[in-house]
Structure 1
Amino acid sequence: MPNPDLSARLRSAFDDDRDAATFSLRLERHGDDLERSLRAVYGERTPALVERLLEIMLHAFHARPADLKRLDEARLLRPDWLQAPEMVGYVAYADRFAGTLRGVGEHLDYLSDLGVRYFHLMPLLKPREGENDGGYAVADYRAVRPDLGSMDDLSALAQGLRGRGISLVLDLVLNHVASEHDWAARARAGEEKYRDYFHIFPDRAGPDTYERALPEVFPDFAPGNFTFDPALGRLLDAPAPAEAPKPKKGGRKKAAAAEVPAARQTDGAGGWVWTTFNTYQWDLNWANPDVFAEFLDIILYLANRGVEVFRLDAIAFIWKRLGTDCQNQPEVHELTRALRAAARIVAPAVAFKAEAIVAPHDLIHYLGTRDHHGKVSDMAYHNSLMVQLWSSLASRDTRLMQGALLAFPPKPTNTTWGMYVRCHDDIGWAISDADAARAGLSGPGHRHFLSDFYSGIFPGTFARGLVFQYNPATGDRRISGTAASLAGLEQAQVLGDEALTELAVRRLILLHAVTLGFGGVPLLYMGDELALLNDYAFADVPEHAPDNRWVHRPRMDWALAAAAQAQPGTPAGRVNAGLRALIRARAATPHLHASIESRPVPSPDPRLLLLRRDHPLGVMLQVYNFSEERVTLPAYVLREHLGTAATDQLGDRTFDLGRPSVTLGAYGALWLVGQPE
């Protein structure tokens, strides 16, 4: 991209030679990735788009606050900041955590004390009023929900977090906007420029053709992928512009008609707009370069407000191609690489996380393969790990998990996984028939078993969850519920059974041990550190009642948070203490750097999961018991990986592996590190 004319132009754009050199060096480093990806998507329109983007980037660079520029330099010196073992994430809704953004700021010591270094506040940009898909129907990307505060409050919160070494993470919804967004309103009003921001059809011919290959995301309450809007019809031919009146002598010339923003009437017959998720969420047309420019401007604006990680919501859906399911198209990765390259030029402290809940062979492309290797998103959700954790917990069998994890291709070493026991969303049983068959299972049969088990109808289950989005055509049933309720704590407390309570606590600590030990950024969902149970009062809130995912989005219980540490013998206290011990052990274990992969190794007992990590400091072997039984493991299995002695990072004890066997208690965990010769 750099050339002599451009260099001269850049010098003229800066008063400070150092800033000019900084911007030029970053442009030289990332400019080719930006231009190549844009050309792959936009072809001959690329040069004009690059000129426009350069102006956006220069403006954002000049506007970037000094403390954030310092953070940029620090991150360039430590590019693996997101992969370090001390990185622990926390995910919360601002209002359910502390009411407002200022309220959140009053609890930063709580996050620091827990060991949090990455704080994801769920959607807080201004959504449409009323039903808004949990905040994912954004009406204004440059404003905060009025009940939470203002953009200045967000900036102040980000600064307070930075002062404690905690990175602020926000959602950026890329696939769609609320039907009340200004772009949609102007499209509905007949402005041709903004109609091109969306996929609008005059009749059902186009939608019906696409629908043949499209799945339904929310078949219960949002069937189909297109919505009729009476204001969207065919645009009528624009009338010839009126001739501008001649100015009177000595008078000022009036603006010509062509200078008036173009708005045209439709034929009044209405039209159809693409709405993958809900009728009030209009899918954007990323084939239009104007959409790309708008979002780069938004990203850099929010980055200058202090956002350090962007969760790219619904990223898999942004490119549409007839005859496909319109997910995971190659252009998605080109567009993400281009956005990342542009962000690296202005704000290299910023990272991208892909919200792509897709199969492993599709997921790896969101981190980068071939010439995109390590240049797309910096982080992606390891949804499969979460699904397999709950599967193994229900079946007391880890063979399916072992096979599924082995099927994952290696990720770029400069990227990281986001792992979680639970999140804000439902659990969809993303278990492939091929993975199930390798474990000797029927895919449909096992998915049916898991839905029965976690909805509480399978005989002998410990779980209490709710069915979400039953699809009669496929038989799929997704599950809602907090981690504690799904792990058996709710049932144990209803029965008043201390033995069952102890098993539920052990299950929760085991699940967190796996996510904290897998190697990436473990993401704690708000309240999991206190074992919060299902909140059935969600049904009393009209805008929440149709969506039972709110059952696992309870409000933070600050009284319980205080009591958990004061009363360590309670279930909340035991889970909290166990989790804090895991976080301390993780921070003290360099073997958990995310550049290293965890790979399953053969286990002599299906109840046990063995994960090996090959770090330059030596081998680490993790052993997890997914049953309520004591399991004895032949010591030679561990000796093959670790030698004759190993230290357990979780218990600070040394094992002599020359003995015949090692025993793990119910839901026990070991993080074993081989001792130096």
Structure 2
Amino acid sequence: MYEQISHSLLNDILTQCKQPKGEDWQHFYTRLGANFYAIHSLFQHLYGQREDFKAQLGKLVTVLTQQYAQRAAHLRAKDLEREKNHDWFMQQKWVGMAMYCQGFAGNLANMREKLPYLQELGINLLHILPICDCPELQNDGGYAVRDFRQIDVRNGSMADLEQLIAAMQQSDMLLTLDVVVNHTSDEHAWAKQAKLGDQQYQDYYYMYPDRTIPDMFEAAMPEVFPENAPGSFTWNPDTGKWVMTVFNQYQWDLNYSNPAVLVEMVDIILFWANKGVDILRLDAVAFLWKKIGSSCQNEREAHLILQLLKDCCQVTAPGVIFIAEAIVAPIEIIKYFGEDAINAKECEIAYNATLMALLWDAVATKQTVLLTKGVEDLPEKLDRATWLNYVRCHDDIGLGFSDQAIIAAGFEPVSHRRFLVDYYTGHYPESNARGFAFGVNKKTGDARISGALASLAGLETALANQDQPAIDNAVLTIVLLHNLIMSFGGIPLLYYGDAVGTLNNDSYLQDENKMHDNRWVHRPTLDWEVLALKNEPGSVQQRLFSQIKQLIAIRKEISAFADLNNRELIALDNPHLFAFHRYVQTGMHPKVVVIANFDTSPQTAPLQAFRQKGLFKTPVLTELYSGQTLSTDTDSITIPPLTAYWLST
């Protein structure tokens, strides 16, 4: 959009510094011109009252220019290709896996050797959790970054990463890396300069000489880690000031009311884009803007910052997309795609934490009433945006569905959440789950859940008891959960070790740096001898790996599983069943009905509910996973225990 004031300023900026020219730069200047009105408007809204507004905006344009100059020719070509195929990431071909580099392979060099394992399973999108330089001890699993542009030596070197990226590109695999945008380690160079009294860098953080302002903030701020890191401010003796530390005392929150912080972060994001990273996961985006009197989460300015980051990335590296790491209520998470837009204006991908929590609710209750209600309440996403659907991740499981949905499902919110915590920590009589309560808030009684997927699904208990029916049910549960993240709509993201049933690992209790954080129980170091059992017929590892591998392969063939806002729930009277319809106009299997049974006994689904939707008109249906055929010359279909059917119609 052309607008005189902003483009006059852009002309001034470009005139004051020597700008590169030539055919290779035409795309950059076209994108800069197209995006600059939005960049200027957002920057002015956030920082227009500051005396250094024009100077900081000039620095931002300089960063965009310098990073484009360093962008490799093959990455510029990929940008053009993805601009033409703008919904490339929404295709059903992508299936991801998240992992810690050290836990999965030891280091980045070994990661290259493990690519065949991932390719055999069908994984073509790899999310490696934080690998940047961080302190040896106080590092929050890599999320307390000491240097945003260096690889931590425990993970390897930048050369190792570059070789891994080259190998992945040759195999048409995507790489996702984290950029921790909300905070730094207190050992970061900026924090060190702040400790030395440098006001320029103290302004990068929230620092106050007494408790007056911190107390005003904390009056409305919920505690993130009430057990281990209560409060949101930490006294720093070096500066004689209180520093905002929302997550841990060694993680200093960045102050985005200072435009220099935003310019620095744009530079860091584009640095990683230029390394060849396809997707950048922006960590803790809900916390980016702090405001006294608010929860300091999901503020409007946080969204404006994300819009700025997106506009800047579109100028220099438009082939790179963002994941919003915002584990918040559905009404809030949908905003991280971008409000008042048709296409994503902030982040193209967001975690579907609500679906994850609802799936675990259905496993515990054996009912799908809350699952169905919760999915019904999910706001419709934008056209050029997609969910990241997952069963498990490196973090705890929060019970993030709304009280209203719980009440509508016939439960009382407090007692129902208490039941779920009891169920997954093994304190409920009928539960085989072995998990742990995490983040227990003694003031409210709230808690979240830690534990490996297989242990939460009952496999650990079943194996210990040598209970074959319970082992079978645990395997069925694990496959059922993966079935649904494959078919629901979005990018399925597996967690490392889950495809072979990796159990809880309590070795973290021997590590003084980890022993107080029970999330490490589900952050394993994989035993590749155990993983090799995936080739041993009849083993739990083989049963899980082969079934999940087959689900992935079939998913990639089903055109209806592309995420095009093409899902419709189907209401069933049976409280144990969850059903939906996926559809597209053309392609292989353009209409697929998914029916999932969360009960441990067979359940029937009446065909009339589907016929009312214009489905099941053919005399025979094909179940795509098993290949079996089902007759529609009957009143109902029987779904086996803990099973989901993919019915082509």
Q: State the alpha-carbon separation in 1 of the partners of residues 288 and 257 from structure 2.
A: 9
Counterpart AA for 2:512:
P
* Deviation sequence 1:79-102 (CA, Å, 0-9, x none): 112111011011111111111111
What is residue 26 of structure 1 aligned with on the other side? 31
CA spacing shift, 1:186–1:495, aligned 2, 3 Å:
same
* Unpaired runs of at least 5, structure 2: 1-5
Which residue of structure 2 lines up, in the alignment, with residue 503 of structure 1?
Answer: 473
Q: 2:362 aligns with which of 392, 403, 414?
A: 392
Residue 483 (structure 2) aligns with: 513
State the secondary structure of the residue aligned to 2:33. helix
Q: Which of 149-158 and 385-394 deviates more? A: 149-158
Counterparts of 1:593 and 1:27, CA distance in 2: 31
The match for 1:138 is 145
In structure 2, relative to structure 1, the CA distance for the partners of 1:29 and 1:595 (3 Å cut) is farther
Q: What do residues 549-589 of structure 1 show as CA deviations (whole Å, max 9, x unaligned)?
A: 1111111222222220x213111111111101110111000
How big is each residue's C-alpha offset from its partner over 1:451-481, in whole Å with a ceiling of 9 and x where there is no partner?
A: 0000001011021111112111111121111
Question: For the residues of structure 2 that align with 1:567 and 1:506, how far apart are their CA atoms?
Answer: 18
Please give the secondary structure, in 2, of the residue aligned with 1:138.
coil
2:85 to 78, 83, 86: 78
Structure 1's 500 and 525: CA in aligned 2 closer, same or farther, altered over 3 A? same
For residue 214 of structure 2, the aligned residue among 207, 214, 221 is 207
Matched, 1:627 2:596: no
**Aligned with 2:642 (options 648, 663, 667):** 667
Measured in 2, the distance between the counterparts of 1:152 and 1:546 equals: 34
Task: Name 2:19's counterpart in structure 1.
Answer: 13
Contact kept in structure 2, 1:11 and 1:20, CA below 8 Å: no
- The match for 1:541 is 511
Per the TM alignment, residue 218 of structure 1 is displaced from its structure 2 partner at its CA by 0.5
Q: 2:231·2:246 contact (CA, 8 Å) conserved in 1?
A: yes
| 1:403/1:289 CA distance change after superposition, 3 Å | same
Contact 1:121 1:170 in 2 (8 A): yes
**Structure 2 counterpart of 1:362, from 321, 329, 332:** 332
Give distance in 1, aligned partners of 2:18 and 2:192: 39
- From 621, 624, 627, give the equivalent of 1:652: 627
Cα separation, 1, equivalents of 2:238 and 2:217: 22
Distance across 1 between alignment mates of 2:235 and 2:359: 41
> Does 2:545 match 1:579?
no
Identity %: 37
Q: State the SS of the aligned residue for 1:662.
A: strand
The corresponding residue for 2:241 is 271
Do the aligned partners of residues 192 and 528 (structure 1) sit closer, same or farther apart at CA in structure 2, a change above 3 Å counting?
same
Contact 2:79–2:319 (8 Å) recurs in 1 = yes
The answer as to whether partners of 1:589 and 1:649 remain within 8 angstroms in 2 is no
Query: 1:615 maps to which residue?
Result: 584
Aligned-partner SS, 2:289: coil
Q: Structure 2 CA distance, aligned partners of 1:2 and 1:621?
A: 51
Tell me the SS of whatever aligns to 1:99: coil
For residues 598 and 6 of structure 1, do their structure 2 counterparts lie closer, same or farther at Cα, with a shift above 3 Å needed?
Answer: farther
Equivalenced residue count is: 635
Q: Helix, strand or coil for the counterpart of 1:470?
A: coil
In the alignment, the residues of structure 2 paired with residue 594 and residue 10 of structure 1 have an alpha-carbon distance, to the nearest angstrom, of 45
Q: Work out whether 1:194 is the aligned partner of 2:201.
A: yes
CA–CA distance in 1 between the matches of 2:12 and 2:563? 38
Higher radius of gyration, 1 or 2: 1
Structure 1 unaligned runs (5+)? Answer: 233-269
The 5-angstrom pairing of residues 418-567 of structure 1 reads 418-564=388-534, 566-567=535-536
Farther-moved stretch of structure 1 (55-64 vs 651-660): 651-660
Report Cα offsets for 1:83-142 as digits up to 9, x if no partner. Answer: 110110111111111111111111112222221121111111011221211111001001
2:133 and 2:153 in contact (8 A); partners too: yes
Q: Work out which of the residue numbers 215, 231, 249 in structure 2 matches 1:224.
A: 231
Residue 35 in structure 1 maps to residue 40 in structure 2: yes
SS at match of 1:471: coil
8 Å CA contact 1:638–1:657 kept in 2: the answer is no
SS in 1 for 2:384: coil
Partner of 1:427, secondary structure, is: coil
Query: Residues 214-264 of structure 1, C-alpha deviation per residue, up to 9 Å, x if partnerless?
Result: 1111111100000001122xxxxxxxxxxxxxxxxxxxxxxxxxxxxxxxx
CA shift digits 1:509-559 (9 cap, x unpaired): 000001011111111100001110100111112211111111111112222
Match of 2:59 in 1: 52
Q: Counterparts of 1:530 and 1:101 in 2: how far apart (Å)? A: 22
* 615-624 vs 63-72, greater mean Cα deviation: 615-624
After TM superposition, the score normalised by the length of structure 1 is 0.91
Which secondary structure state, in structure 1, belongs to the residue aligned with residue 246 of structure 2? coil
Asked if residue 640 in structure 1 is aligned to residue 640 in structure 2, the reply is no
Instruction: Tell whether the 8 Å contact from 2:453 to 2:501 is kept in structure 1 after alignment.
Output: yes
Partners in 2 of 1:35 and 1:151 — Cα distance?
Answer: 34
Secondary structure in structure 1 of the residue aligned to 2:256: coil
Structural mapping, 1:141-156, within 5 Å:
141-156=148-163
Cα distance, 1:404 vs. partner?
Answer: 1.0
Whole-angstrom distance in 2 between the partners of 1:568 and 1:85 = 29
Deviates more, 1:466-475 or 1:364-373: 364-373
Matches of 1:30 and 1:465, distance apart in 2:
48
Corresponding residue number in structure 2 for 1:309: 279
Alignment deviations for residues 16-49 of structure 1 (CA, whole Å, 9 cap, x no partner): x322211112113322332222222112454433
Q: Residues 372 and 151 of structure 1: is their aligned pair in 2 closer, same or farther, counting only changes over 3 Å?
A: farther
How far the C-alpha of 1:401 sits from its partner, in A, is 1.0
Equivalent pair of 2:39/2:312 in contact (CA under 8 Å):
yes
Q: Indicate if the aligned counterparts of 2:583 and 2:591 stay in contact, CA closer than 8 A.
A: yes
**CA positional deviation for 1:10:** 11
Q: Displacement, 1:652?
A: 3.1
CA contact (8 A) 2:266 2:309 kept: yes
1:217 and 1:408 map into 2 onto residues whose CA distance is 24
| C-alpha distance in structure 2 between counterparts of 1:108 and 1:6, whole Å | 49
Q: Distance in 1 between matches of 2:134 and 2:506?
A: 24
Q: Deviation of residue 163 (structure 1)?
A: 1.2
CA distance in 1, matches of 2:539, 2:238: 58
